[in-house]
Amino acid sequence: MKSILCVVCFLMGPFFLQADPEKIQEELHEVVTSTSKAFAHVGLASGVMIGDKHYILTNEHVVARFKKEAPITINGVGRFKAKILAIDKDGDAALLELILNKEVKLSSIRLAEDKVTPGQWVFTLGNPYGVATQTKVPSVSLGVVCSQDKEEGVHPMYDNGIQTDASINPGNSGGPVINMKGEFVGIAGKHRTRFGNRCQTGSNFAVGMDVVLGLVDRAKVFDGYNVVKKLNTSVKSKILKVGNSVSEFKKDDEIVCLDGKVFEDGKNLLGYMARQCLHGVDSCTFEIKRAGKKMSINIKLRTVKEIEKEEESKGENGEEKKVRRKKTKKKKK
């Protein structure tokens, strides 16, 4: 009896396995509407909110025209300004931080941990040709990952970028490319034109996760790192607050240069470090002025994951203690 049941189940299996188009579109609808909430209009172009700190990811060429702050509109929430935290000109990525005067509920999108594979489904959210400016609801376009490049420094569009056939048009720039789990996999940036006309060729390009993570990591590592542009020509910026992971710095340190290069403002400085990190450089040297004295500081360029691992190995004992404390508290009760 059991065996017959098994055989029947086994034979029926493939029928259940058939994809149901209605279910597929229902799932698509869900993932699209849930991720659309994290969409942010950056000027006339696009962007997306990530993480819990109100960071916004977009293209460098989108924010290039804004000096310090970019105008942001979020559907159903309102208009804001965002500070430009870090930019990576070569990678065409920018990280912004929302300036919030009051508390608002914002949704955000997860960053993908898995790499993309050719053939995988992705979709873009954006404001192509400004069509979403009226309703503020972004346009969706579905496609697949065409290829992902591995060789560095030679791609005419983006190194390590994603090629997709989900359509990317002017205005889609800075918008997210999202996989079917609803995770962020790239920033939509460029498309290949045909004979100079803005005709869709199906070869569209997105900034890959390496560049994105580089920027996000730098912003996280330098948590609270704040730089102020000064009029003094020799000293360009000054540290206002010191993050936990970069204890080498102290408050009111004035940054003279980094690796012998003078940066006009903090956003380029973070972008430079992110790029160095991408190229496998593991440390960089700051020249600073502390209380009038010139000093040089060597900073290790570690990713957030590396720092977390180190902290885990350090903090294992501490965690155990915490657990013990809880247990003891229970006992007392």
Partner 1 sequence: MKSSIQKILFLLVLALCPLLHGGEIEKIENEYIELANKISPAVVSLYYDLNKIEGKKNQVDNSEGDSGNKGKAKKVKEDKKIEKKDETEVENRRRSYSSYMYQKSGVIVSDQGHILTSINALFKEESMILNARLFGGKSYKVEIVKKYPKQKLALLKIDIKTPKYFAVEKRLPKSGSFVMAATDEMFAISLSKRCAIQTGVVCQVSSVDGITYIETDTGSGSSSFGGALSNAKGDLIGVIDSFCSNDRWFCTAIALNNLPKELTEKFGKKEVEKTLPSGLATLTSCFQNAADKIKDSVVTVVAERKYWTRKKFIGDRHKQRPESGRASGLVIDSEGLVLTSYNNIETAESLDVVLADEKKYKAEIVGFDAYQDVALLKIKAEGLKAISLSKDVEIKTGYFTVVVGRDQPDKEVTIATGIVASDSRKSGKSFETDAPINFANSGGAVIDIKGQLMGMAAYVNEDPSALQGVNSGVGFCLSVNSIIKILPKLKKGEKKSFPLQAYLGISFDGDVINQIYKGSSAEKYGLKVKDKPVAINGKKVSNNKEFTSKIKKTKVEQKVKITVLRDGEEKEVEVVMGSKAKRGR
Q: Is 296 in the site for partner 1 (CB under 8 A)?
A: no
108 with 49: CB under 8 angstroms? yes
Q: Is 38 in the site for partner 1 (CB under 8 A)?
A: no
59 with 94: CB under 8 angstroms? yes
Question: In this complex, which beta carbon is closest to partner 1, that of residue 19 or of residue 231?
Answer: 19
Q: Is 147 in the site for partner 1 (CB under 8 A)?
A: yes
> What is the closest distance, in whole angstroms, from the C-beta atom of residue 286 to partner 1 in the complex?
20
> What is the closest distance, in whole angstroms, from the C-beta atom of residue 114 to partner 1 in the complex?
12
Q: Is 16 in the site for partner 1 (CB under 8 A)?
A: yes
Instruction: Tell me if residue 321 falls in helix, strand or coil.
Output: helix
Q: How far apart are CA 35 and CA 47, in angstroms?
A: 12
Q: How far apart are CA 66 and CA 47, in angstroms?
A: 14
Q: Is 143 in the site for partner 1 (CB under 8 A)?
A: yes
Among 2, 329, 331, 333, binds partner 1 (CB under 8 A): 2
**Chain residues 94-133 in contact with partner 1, contact rule CB under 8 A:** 117-121, 128-132
Q: Is 173 in the site for partner 1 (CB under 8 A)?
A: no
Q: Is 199 in the site for partner 1 (CB under 8 A)?
A: yes
> What is the closest distance, in whole angstroms, from the C-beta atom of residue 117 to partner 1 in the complex?
5
Enter the tokens of residue 113: 């941990």
Among 46, 58, 108, 169, binds partner 1 (CB under 8 A): 169
> What Rg value do the Cα atoms of the chain yield, rounded?
24
Determine how β-strand 45-50 pairs with β-strand 55-58: antiparallel
Q: How far apart are CA 238 and CA 147, in angstroms?
A: 43
Cα–Cα distance list, 288 to 218, 224, 248, 255, 270 (Å):
19, 18, 11, 4, 16
Q: Is 21 in the site for partner 1 (CB under 8 A)?
A: yes
Among 48, 94, 140, 284, binds partner 1 (CB under 8 A): 140
> What is the closest distance, in whole angstroms, from the C-beta atom of residue 89 to partner 1 in the complex?
15
The span of 82-90, 164-172, 211-219, 227-235 binding partner 1 (CB under 8 A) equals: 164-172
> What is the closest distance, in whole angstroms, from the C-beta atom of residue 113 to partner 1 in the complex?
17
Among 44, 106, 144, 256, binds partner 1 (CB under 8 A): 144
Residue 142 CB contacts under 8 Å (≥ 6 apart), including other chains: 28, 121, 122, 123, 166
> What length does the chain have?
333
Enter the tokens of residue 130: 């400004």
